[in-house]
Structure 1
Amino acid sequence: MAACAFRRSIAGQLSKVLDLPPENLIKSISAVPVSRKRHDADFQLSIASIEEGRSSDCLAQDLQLRAQKLAEKLKCDAVVSEISTGPGTVNFTINRELLAKTVLQQVLKDGTQYGTKSELFSTMPKQKTVVEFSSPNIAKKFHIGHLRSTIIGLLGVGFQQFGDKEKLKSSPLQHLFEVYVQINKAAADENTKKLAQDFFRKLEEHDEQALSLWKEFRDFSIKEYTRIYKRLGVHFDEYSGESFYQEKSREVLKMLEDKGLLQKTTKGTGVVDLSEKKDLSSLSTVIRSDGTSLYITRDLAAAIDRMNKYNWDTMIYVTDRNQSSHFQHLFRILKLMGYDWVDRCQHVSFGLVQGMKTRKGEVIFLEDVLDEVRSRMLENMASAKTTKEVEDPVETAEKVGLAALIIQDFRGLLSSDYQFNWDRALQSRGDTGVFLQYTHARLHSLEQTHGNEPVTDVNVACLQEPGAISVLQHLLRYDEVLYRSSQDLQPKHIVSYLLTLSHLAAVAHRSLPVKGSTPAVAQARLCLFQATRSVLANGMKLLGITPVTRM
């Protein structure tokens, strides 16, 4: 990694002055975010990060002085051309030609692995992670909320009353949704509720007729889900819904009973006492009074089974934040059962999408949204003066539209709700997925126009303009951004980085023309734009976006 080489060099000099091992300093040296308003150094050392033993009051008083004293003991060398201080930081400017040469060589050499080969990740052992997300239950159409997850429903009784076998074959999820709406209206009737409970109990008891109908729903549902997942670019290694664990949940209940954790209430439900003082002030119900299991019972069985099957290092559950309490209970029960590996389980919660409407109306299904965004993008492409002829306009519109949805979704904290706006999401300028795709296509076109071969041997003295330096400085930060996202599991850091990269590329594209420049300058600039497009494509793919080459 280019940034790694520079960090190591800076750490080497600092270690001699501070009498600390260089490896202890690496993570305290960070690339400086690019600012349009002023010229910045390339790296900075935070004095606070190496003064952890001191009180914060003491640090507040003399942080700047310590930075100045440390800077005075350091010297410029073949790597560092300037040393300065900021508020509690020592700043390092890298030799400009060395900066350009090292960054460009590293980006083009590492290709898709640029950023991930950084030593920032070297202390992170290779691990096996199980991620559970988008858990649709049988026969429930994708709602817009399923862009972030999917919801649960079972329609046995409804289909017996309102179902149509032919409609089920031709349009399974649409028909089952219609059945769901009808049975929901009827659910106010106590008799209907009882029938639904009986159907579920029959399923758990492996009643042949109930099981046959459920399997039919499941097969049709998975086929439809797979088709829609494909549009999202999502592939699952395993489809194993919570219903798969109905039988194993019996084993879990037996384990809870054997460990003295299962208690019966006066109503006949089975509960686990989660309170610290064991005073029943906090309970989690794990079995209904009729003996049927609950979500949490099956989730307990699933967690245990997946550990036995995969021996994972980390398991991550991705669901909306309304389920936070459910996962707190789940993890607490697993801990009480003696499974210490539960400490390596994590719930990543997300907020809700608000205000989304399609032209069809208020009820929003994900497939309607995907169709809508593709339709709107086709219209925008048809009316835009800059649109190039593309081989498959529909496919291009689908990819660009999906990028718009993903960037809109990932721009903020995952746990935050956000207001969706079609016009804002589909703008070709500004902080949007459309702008990322447009920038990538534009840079790809530039490469095609001037020869599609990777440029390697360039005169880096030709890349000293402010626009070029800003792009190079930003490319330096890529590994830190990836590392940060890997730590807090928030994609917003990558989104922000890519949007800034696209804006910097747009400025550089205007101020650093390839066409009409001397061969040496043209080659150097082309190499800069190739490196930019490569990192842009890498980051987009991490977010689930397929970069387009024409639009």
Structure 2
Amino acid sequence: MTCFFKRTIAAKLGRTLHQPDDVFIPALSAVPVFKKQQTSDFRLTISILRTNGVLPASGDIQTQTEHLANQLKRDSVVEEIAAGSAGINFKINRKLLAQKILEPFGTEHQGKIGLHSELLNSLQKGTTLVEYSSPNIAKKFHAGHLRSTIIGNFIANLRESLGNKVIRMNFLGDWGMQFGLLGAGFSQFGSQEKLAENPLQHLYEVYVKVNKEAEHNEDTTLAARNFFRRLERHESRAVSLWQQFRNITVSEYRRVYERLGVHFDVYSGESCHQEGVREAVQQLRNRGLLKTTEKGTAIVDLSAGDLSNVCTVLRSDGTSLYITRDIAAAIDRREKYHFDEMIYVTDKSQTHHFQQLFQILRAMGHSWADRCHHVPFGLVQGMKTRTGEVVFLEDLLDEARARMLHNMSQSKMTKEMDDAEDTAQKVGISALIAQDFRGLLQGDYKFDWDKMLQAQGDTGVFLQYTHARLCSLIQKNNDIDTATFDPSLLTEQSSVSILQHLLRYDEVLYQSAQDLQPKHLLNFLLKLCHLTASAHRELPVKGSAQQVAQARKRLFSGTCSVLANGMRILGIIPVDKM
């Protein structure tokens, strides 16, 4: 949406300064809208031109700004040019602004609006592998896994929308000493009958009991180690029980992911890399990176690098650890998928683990380790349902749906709908996602049901309400054809504010793609909703003259399309009624 205008301004600057147009594009940005104030549309940041060597880096920057502004001429596209504080502001012809922004919404490509600007096309494309969610087998989906799931889903959606081939991977915790404990515990506390009735609940109960037992009973700990050793040796009875637990758990997880609107291309797991672990250990040994301690553990000494530490990769009994399996998994993925980048989404407590992982991979000669990234996130505090502390994600989703259903039933604005429960679930999940994405991901935040489910304010409910309201407006004015419209009829400040805000869409997506933080896109959409609420009050469609109604409906249709597209990237499924 911004390409035409940035190109025009860049060409004007290029002619004046005798430079290629392209050098000015990075210094041009859309101006944020503030409370419906009259503002310019684009700003040229002089300091960027000085840094890039387009302008001299010496001399007074304000004098330089004013001198350049005075050299530039207005034309049919750029109505006003003014020197600001270390930048030049450009105001676009209002009719042209509306025409160029709203034109694409009448085409079959409107689902891709804002995704093909020159700014976004400058991003490197390729294959992105995102590992997220990654719960542990034989445990119910803990609410703590919600953050990894929705953050990873956002990153995968974003990369995909920008033209990358994305592989969505769920790397299940289906190996290790936890399985040793569960395998040993099931023979003591397990029941096949209870397993058939409520599989994950029963496995969770067994796991809790055996952990408690292991705290004061050394025999239980030894039995767990023995079971895991049998598993690593592929003894049939141990493997059969493990396979049963894995199949049950994956089946249950898929149901929860469906509720969240999340899907995966690959269900992998630590168990898939037993052969790879042996090969990785041999590679470490061949490169002289592996050392054996007095206790018999195998370590990689990283103290020569940035991290003053050592990393254990094998226990004294020869069994593998989490880091060993991650090394093998990374090598396998590179060989299998030829990814251009790999992104791990886990809580910030694992930051050190991934620093070690990437350092070991580099030491092994894998230069692609530089294209592996860890996206860390903070903790959620105070996550409770009416019945107490939240343990399982399904409890949280049920509570969000129930509370949203109650709120909808109390609201006079609620429309009749075919499936109120489904709508309440989607809106409740929107509220969970929006609350989670408000701040920087690595920050902790306090969970608050009341704030989260407010229909007004910066919430997921407000996003959904605005989208549903726009859908209703479009539906009620179904008889108004917007195939052609007169852009000169959209000069009111509330119209112009929306158009100016839409100019920033590609810049917001670019910023999100750079730092993988969803807050930029969420805040953009929330601001769009506030501007839309004002325009909805001030710009009636029904009852207006036909040409005015056509132009306004086109504006609201375009806004609805951008809002829906942005919500989907965040992982929010837009509802048409609520």
TM (normalized to structure 1)? Answer: 0.96
Does residue 1:522 correspond to 2:520, yes or no?
A: no
Cα distance in 2 for partners of 1:302, 1:206 equals 19
- Report the Cα distance in structure 2 between the residues aligned to 1:57 and 1:159, rounded to whole angstroms: 74
Give the SS at the match of 1:131: strand
Q: Does residue 289 of the first structure (1) align with residue 316 of the second (2)?
A: yes
Encode CA deviations 1:453-496: one digit per residue, 9 max, x unaligned.
76231111211000000000011111111111011111110000
For residue 148 of structure 1, what is the aligned residue in structure 2? 147
- Partner of residue 100 from structure 1, selected from 98, 101, 108: 98
Q: How does 1:499-510 map to 2 (within 5 A)?
A: 499-510=526-537
2:233 equivalent to 1:235: no
Distance 2:279 2:329 in 1: 11
Q: Secondary structure at the match of 2:148?
A: coil
Do the aligned residues in 1 keep the contact of 2:344 with 2:374 (CA within 8 Å)? yes
Structure 1 residue runs of 4 or more that deviate by more than 6 Å after TM superposition: 56-59
Distance 1:57 1:163, change over 3 A: farther
Q: Distance in 1 between matches of 2:191 and 2:63?
A: 79
Count of residue pairs brought into register by the alignment: 547
1:270–1:287: 8 Å Cα contact kept in structure 2? yes
Contact 2:36 2:493 in 1 (8 A): no
The match for 1:6 is 5
SS for the counterpart of 2:300 is: strand
Q: Of 450, 453, 459, which aligns to 1:432?
A: 459
The corresponding residue for 2:521 is: 494
**Could you report, residue by residue, the CA deviation over 1:520-541 in whole angstroms, capped at 9, with x for unpaired residues?**
1111111100000000000000
Moved more, 21-30 or 94-103: 21-30
SS at match of 2:51: coil
1:21 aligned residue: 20
| Correspondence 1:511 to 2:538 | yes
Aligned-partner SS, 1:78: coil
Alpha-carbon separation, structure 2, partners of 1:470 and 1:137: 48
Structure 1 CA distance for aligned equivalents of residues 213 and 564 of structure 2: 51
How far residue 58 of structure 1 moved from its aligned partner, in angstroms, is 6.9
1:28-177 mapped onto 2 (5 Å cutoff): 28-36=27-35, 38-52=37-51, 62-109=60-107, 110-149=109-148, 152=173, 153-154=178-179, 155-177=182-204
Give the match for residue 215 of structure 1: 243
Q: Percent identity?
A: 56
Give secondary structure in 2 for the equivalent of 1:347.
strand
Deviations 1:226-280 (A, max 9, x none): 11011111111010111211232011111111111110000100000112279x9
| Residue-by-residue CA offset, 1:393-444 (whole Å, 9 max, x unaligned) | 0000010001000100111111111001000000000000000000000000
Asked whether 1:345 is paired with 2:372, we answer yes
Asked whether 1:384 is paired with 2:383, we answer: no
SS in 1 for 2:266: coil
Mapped partners of 1:223, 1:269: distance in 2: 37
Equivalent-residue separation in structure 1 for 2:550 and 2:206 (angstroms)? 63
Give the letter aligned to residue 272 of structure 1.
V
Measure the CA separation in 2 of the matches of 1:21 and 1:499. 37
- Say if 2:280 and 2:328, in contact at 8 Å, map to a contact too: yes
Offset of 1:107 from its aligned partner?
A: 3.6
Is contact 2:298-2:315 (8 Å) kept?
A: yes
Give yes or no for contact 1:29–1:45 (8 Å, CA) kept in 2.
yes
Provide the rounded CA distance (Å) in 2 between the counterparts of 1:461 and 1:277. 63
Other structure's SS at 2:130 match: strand
- One of 277, 285, 294 as aligned partner of 1:257: 285
Give the match for residue 569 of structure 2. Answer: 542
Cα distance between partner residues in 2 of 1:253 and 1:470: 60
Change (3 A) 1:483 1:242: same
Counterpart contact for 1:156–1:213, Cα < 8 Å: yes
Match of 1:198 among 206, 222, 226: 226
Equivalences for 1:386-425 in 2 at 5 Å?
386-425=413-452
Partners of 2:106 and 2:560 in 1: CA distance: 11
Shift of 1:201: 1.3
Contact 1:204 1:247 in 2 (8 A): no
Once the two structures are TM-superposed, the CA of residue 161 in structure 1 deviates from its matched residue by 1.2
Greater shift in the superposed pair: 321-330 or 23-32: 23-32
Q: Is the CA contact 2:129–2:339 (under 8 Å) kept in the aligned structure 1?
A: yes
What is the CA distance between 1:182 and its match in structure 2?
0.9
Q: Which amino acid aligns with 1:126?
A: K
In structure 2, distance between residues paired with 1:173 and 1:134? 17
Please give the secondary structure, in 1, of the residue aligned with 2:312.
Answer: strand
> What SS does the corresponding residue of 1:148 show, helix, strand or coil?
helix
1:480 aligns with 2:480: no
Question: In 1, are the aligned partners of 2:50 and 2:56 still within 8 Å (CA)?
Answer: no
CA distance in 2, matches of 1:12, 1:505: 33
Whole-angstrom CA distance in 2 between matches of 1:302 and 1:237? 16
Contact 2:297 2:315 in 1 (8 A): yes
Tell me the distance in 1 between the aligned counterparts of 2:27 and 2:4.
Answer: 15
* TM superposition shift of 1:57: 13
Distance, in Å, in 1 between the alignment partners of 2:101 and 2:526 is 20
Distance 2:106 2:22 in 1: 27
Is the contact between residue 137 and residue 241 of structure 1 (CA under 8 Å) also seen in structure 2? Answer: no
Correspondent of 1:269 among 297, 301, 321: 297
Q: Distance in 1 between matches of 2:561 and 2:312?
A: 52
Contact 1:454–1:530, Cα closer than 8 Å, also in 2: no
**Cα distance, 1:46 vs structure 2:** 0.3
> Does residue 245 of structure 1 match 2:244?
no
Could you say what secondary structure the match of 1:93 adopts? strand
- Counterpart residue type for residue 429 of structure 1: Q
3-state SS, counterpart of residue 149 of structure 1: helix
Q: TM-score, normalised by structure 2?
A: 0.92
Gaps of 5+ in 2: 150-171
C-alpha RMSD of the superposition:
1.8
Contact 2:194 2:202 in 1 (8 A): yes
Other structure's SS at 1:515 match: coil
Q: Is the contact between residue 383 and residue 390 of structure 2 (CA under 8 Å) also seen in structure 1?
A: no
Post-superposition CA distance 1:363-416 (Å, at most 9, x none): 421110000000000000111010000110000001000100010011111111
Q: Which moved further from structure 2: 5-14 or 177-186?
A: 177-186
User: Counterpart in 1 of 2:152?
Assistant: none
Residues 60-114 of structure 1: per-residue CA shift (max 9 Å, x gap): x722221111100001111100011221110000000000011000244331111
Q: Aligned with 1:317: secondary structure?
A: strand
C-alpha separation in 2, matches of 1:543 and 1:97: 32
Letter of the 2:71 counterpart? K
Aligned partners of 1:358 and 1:364 also within 8 Å: no
What's the secondary structure of 1:187's corresponding residue?
helix
Counterpart CA distance in 1 for 2:413 and 2:462 is 13
Please identify, of 107-116 and 384-393, the stretch whose mean Cα deviation from structure 2 is larger: 107-116
Amino acid in the other structure paired with 2:241: L
Measure, in 2, the Cα distance between the counterparts of 1:57 and 1:267.
Answer: 64
Distance between the aligned counterparts of 2:48 and 2:139, measured in 1? 51
